[in-house]
């Protein structure tokens, strides 16, 4: 449904319907889109946006990290944990989708916080999200180097780091169209690989393996059992250890789902965003259900949670051996698939690193456009690439060389802790912004039924997801106390005081305040977005009707 800006202007400003230029009475220059020479290009197609949303969501947290969760929580705990956090993730995505479809601007999440809540929250959220991607990009580069070492250790890992960093840098430098097309094919391979792994797991479970052993739900019963026992030796209480095992799956699932929200950053470069963004958001539910929930269910069927090889695999320094799917094939005597699975993992992590660098550079660009980062970072080249922001984010990939002095597994653990907390804080801010957005609509007499996309389960959905994310985040580092490990504690929680310092520092310097619901600007910039959308639709109409093959291709 096309948004009626004239109607919105009259409701917000209470101006007379006969006034000729209501936009002049309600115009905030700070909230407008950047000039053409400083603007990103809308070059991401519907199929590319859809696949980028999938590519950022599915990675090492599922194909590797799920083994740790299985060991700690057992097959039932693993399934329940990933299902619960998956539902929370879905609520975050529909909340984001409602705001993004209404206002598909080029300023990322920070723009919504600045506009609907408080400029201080926008500043803290923007830098929090940037810090996340300054860390998660080298994290995935680190994982790629670990994967390659499965095949050869004759080449120093630092050489692989340089090759991988150079690759993703040049892909991003070539512009959003090249990036979008490459990421589309990367993510397509991911989907095919995941479907293949799920089918393989089901076939193994039903007896289609060299041992002709029909496993069924054998690993859900004693001596393995449906629930794991985590830290039993330390707490000396079986019921408590079962609960801690389940809780550990929640924190692991949080890391696995973090990144799904990156579609909110792509809206600034999306063609016809008011149609394509809601379409991508709606498909998120099925992706979570099939790939995540379905994936961990299959893993719980074919791998016993008490198997020592699984515990070793989650700590492994080699690629294929770090996946519970490989543990499953090894247990039933299939050895030929290790190289195939390792190749798939390499594509997974390189795709994630590629999209992480993209999101990091766009987040820094959005901060610069809002005046919350140095102005040099809002420069773009003729292809719409914010190249100064890209250079800085690429430079931070040098953090990956920490693994030269510390083990890759240890560095990976530090990065996972940091990324999980930065990502959880981002989810909290998105949800709080959506709550403020809904309050503003109600205060200004606007119905959510008139929005381009109306999120389901609201308004309670955002409150439920916000409370759940806060609780998981506050207690995600519980195992750093049993026994006490200083480095894990710091990396698990350091993001929280950093976020609070960013927020409080901005408020102290700029004296910003929370925007009342009836004063939230729901108008500025909508007309420009509507005109951009009309131009796109007109250009598409000039191309004439699409062939059936083209329609099928674009629908993918």
Per the structure block, which two tokens stand in for 426?
A: 């981002």
Can the peptide bond before residue 459 be classed as cis, meaning omega within 30 degrees of 0? yes
Q: At residue 54, does pLDDT exceed 60?
A: yes
Q: In whole angstroms, give the CA distance from residue 200 to residue 344.
A: 14
Question: What single string gives the DSSP state of each residue in 76-115?
Answer: HHHHHHHHHHHHHHHHHHHHHHHHHHH---SSHHHHHHHH
Q: Judge whether 299 and 324 are in contact, CB under 8 Å.
A: yes
Tokens of 71: 């060991």
Task: Please spell the DSSP secondary structure of 430-457, one letter per residue.
Answer: HHHHHHHHHHHHHHTT--GGGSSS--SS
Residue of 284 and 455 predicted with greater confidence = 455
Q: Residue 290 gets which letter from DSSP?
A: I
Encoding tokens for residue 80? 């329940």
Distance CA 167, CA 515 (A): 43
- Each residue's pLDDT tens digit, 155-165: 887 888 899 99
pLDDT tens across 366-376, in order?
Answer: 888 888 889 89
Between CA 183 and CA 177 the distance in angstroms is 10
Tell me: the pLDDT tens digits for 402-428?
656 555 556 666 777 788 899 899 999
The arithmetic mean of pLDDT across residues 325-330, rounded, is 85
Residue % of the chain over a pLDDT of 70: 80
What's the pLDDT band for 20 if we cut at 50, 70, 90?
very low
Out of 231-240, 320-329, 382-391, which region has the weakest mean confidence (pLDDT)? 320-329
- Compute the mean pLDDT over every residue in the chain, rounded to the nearest whole number: 81
At 225 the pLDDT is 84
Torsion of the alpha carbons at 221, 226, 228 and 232, rounded to the nearest 10: -60
Query: Helices 338-369 and 119-148, interaxial angle, to 10°?
Result: 160
Q: Rounded to 5 degrees, what angle do the CA atoms 304, 308, 314 make? A: 90
Radius of gyration for the alpha carbons in the chain, expressed in angstroms and rounded? 24
Asked if the model's pLDDT at residue 19 lies above 50, the reply is no
Looking at residue 472, its pLDDT comes to 94
Question: Where is average pLDDT lowest: 235-244, 292-301, 405-414, 479-488?
Answer: 405-414
Break the chain into its structural domains and give their ranges. 39-524
Question: In the CATH hierarchy, which top-level class contains the domain 39-524?
Answer: mainly alpha
| 62-66, 112-116, 479-483: range with lowest mean pLDDT | 62-66
Residue 220, pLDDT above cutoff 90 = yes
Distances (CA, A) of 2 to 86, 273, 275, 450: 31, 12, 10, 9
Strand, coil or helix: 258 = coil
CA-to-CA distance for 166 and 173, rounded, in angstroms?
10
Whether the pLDDT of residue 24 is over 50: the answer is no
Q: Which pLDDT band holds residue 42 (cuts at 50, 70, 90)?
A: low
Distance from C-alpha of 463 to C-alpha of 250, rounded to nearest angstrom: 18
How far is residue 514 from each of residues 240, 416, 436, 518, measured CA to CA in Å?
Answer: 42, 32, 10, 12
User: Is the confidence at residue 34, as pLDDT, over 70?
Assistant: no
CA atoms of 16 and 10, how far apart (whole Å):
7
Pick the more confident residue, 311 or 285.
Answer: 285
Compute the average pLDDT of residues 45-60.
Answer: 64
**C-alpha to C-alpha distance for 115 and 433, rounded to whole angstroms:** 9
As given in the structure block, the two tokens for residue 9 are 């202007």
DSSP string, 455-524: -SSTTHHHHHHHHHHHHHHHTTTGGGBTTB-HHHHHHHHTHHHHHHHHHHHHHHHH---PPPGGG----T
Identify any residues that bridge with 270 across adjacent strands, giving them in sequence order. 44
The gap between the terminal CA atoms of the chain, to the nearest Å, is 22
């Amino acid at each position: 449904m096309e948004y009626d800006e004239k109607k919105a202007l009259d409701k917000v400003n209470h101006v007379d319907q006969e006034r000729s230029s209501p936009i002049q009475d309600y115009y905030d220059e700070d909230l407008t889109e950047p000039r053409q020479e400083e603007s990103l290009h809308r070059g991401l197609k519907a199929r590319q946006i859809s696949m980028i949303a999938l590519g950022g969501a599915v990675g090492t947290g599922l194909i590797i990290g799920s083994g740790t969760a299985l060991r700690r929580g057992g097959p039932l705990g693993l399934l329940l944990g990933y299902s619960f956090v998956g539902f929370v993730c879905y609520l975050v995505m529909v909340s984001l989708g409602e705001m993004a479809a209404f206002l598909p601007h080029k300023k990322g999440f920070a723009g919504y916080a600045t506009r609907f809540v408080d400029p201080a929250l926008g500043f803290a959220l923007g830098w929090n999200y940037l810090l996340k991607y300054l860390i998660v990009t080298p994290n995935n580069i680190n994982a790629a180097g670990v994967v390659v070492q499965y095949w050869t250790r004759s080449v120093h890992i630092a050489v692989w780091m340089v090759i991988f960093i150079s690759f993703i840098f040049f892909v991003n430098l070539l512009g959003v169209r090249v990036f979008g097309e490459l990421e589309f094919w990367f993510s397509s391979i991911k989907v095919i690989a995941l479907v293949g792994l799920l089918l393989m797991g089901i076939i193994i479970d039903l007896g289609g393996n060299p041992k002709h052993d029909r496993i069924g739900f054998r690993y859900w019963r004693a001596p393995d059992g449906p629930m794991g026992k985590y830290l039993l030796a330390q707490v000396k209480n079986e019921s408590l250890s079962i609960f801690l095992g389940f809780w550990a799956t929640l924190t692991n699932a949080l890391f696995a789902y973090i990144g799904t929200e990156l579609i909110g950053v792509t809206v600034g470069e999306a063609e016809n965003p008011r149609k394509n963004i809601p379409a991508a958001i709606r498909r998120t539910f099925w992706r979570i259900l099939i790939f995540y929930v379905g994936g961990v269910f299959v893993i719980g069927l074919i791998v016993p949670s008490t198997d020592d090889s699984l515990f070793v695999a989650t700590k492994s320094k080699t690629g294929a051996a770090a996946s519970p799917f490989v543990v499953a094939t090894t247990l039933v005597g299939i050895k030929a698939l290790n190289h195939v699975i390792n190749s798939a993992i390499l594509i997974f992590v390189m795709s994630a690193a590629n999209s992480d660098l993209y999101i990091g550079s766009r987040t820094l660009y959005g901060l610069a456009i809002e005046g919350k980062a140095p102005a040099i970072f809002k420069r773009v080249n003729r292809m719409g690439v914010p190249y100064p922001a890209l250079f800085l984010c690429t430079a931070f990939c040098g953090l990956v060389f920490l693994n030269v002095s510390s083990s890759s597994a240890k560095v990976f653990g530090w990065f996972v802790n940091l990324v999980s907390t930065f990502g959880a804080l981002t989810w909290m801010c998105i949800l709080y912004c959506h709550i403020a957005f809904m309050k503003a609509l109600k205060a200004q007499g606007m119905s959510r039924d008139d929005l381009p996309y109306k999120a389901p389960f609201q308004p309670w959905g955002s409150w439920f997801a916000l409370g759940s994310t806060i609780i998981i985040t506050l207690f995600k580092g519980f195992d750093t106390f049993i026994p006490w490990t200083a480095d894990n504690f710091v990396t698990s929680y350091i993001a929280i005081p950093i976020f609070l310092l960013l927020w409080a520092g901005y408020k102290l310097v700029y004296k910003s305040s929370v925007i009342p619901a009836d004063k939230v600007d729901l108008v500025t910039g909508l007309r420009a977005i509507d005109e951009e959308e009309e131009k796109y639709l007109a250009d598409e109409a000039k191309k004439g009707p699409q062939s059936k093959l083209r329609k099928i291709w674009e629908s993918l």
